[in-house]
Amino acid sequence: MNQRKLFARRLRRLRKAAKLSLDAAGEKGGLSGKYWGEVERGEKSPTLEKISDMAKALGVPTYALVQFEREEDEDTLRKRITKILENSDAQQLKTIYGYLLDTLDSK
């Protein structure tokens, strides 16, 4: 997947997590909702200045929008997690389970 599509997907995911409409996100970032939507669809490539404005609108650091090395889809993540679990011994499973419980309880 190319960088523009990765950026667009991350931008959309963060906007939805912030529960912002395109217009609300655009307004917070000093941009139009139309432009924000074009970026999310991969039709436009924002400048660094606009990326910074978008990050501020979403309340995240700018690098959160452009750091792609760990970007994976849900199916890929599920397969990787399943493989890790299948190859884990009893002690490792207990550790993983404890970590998950702690992580989920803190939310």
Q: Note the pLDDT tens digit of each residue in 64-84.
A: 888 866 656 778 888 989 999
Are the CB atoms for 54 and 11 separated by under 8 Å?
Answer: yes
Q: Note the pLDDT tens digit of each residue in 30-52.
A: 999 999 999 999 999 999 999 99
Whole-angstrom distance, CA of residue 29 vs CA of residue 11: 13
Using CA atoms, how far residue 73 sits from 1, 10, 70, 95, in Å, is: 11, 11, 10, 25
Whether the pLDDT of residue 107 is over 80: the answer is no
When pLDDT is averaged across residues 14-28 and rounded to a whole number, the result is 95
| Confidence (pTM) | 0.64
pLDDT confidence band for 102 (50 / 70 / 90): confident
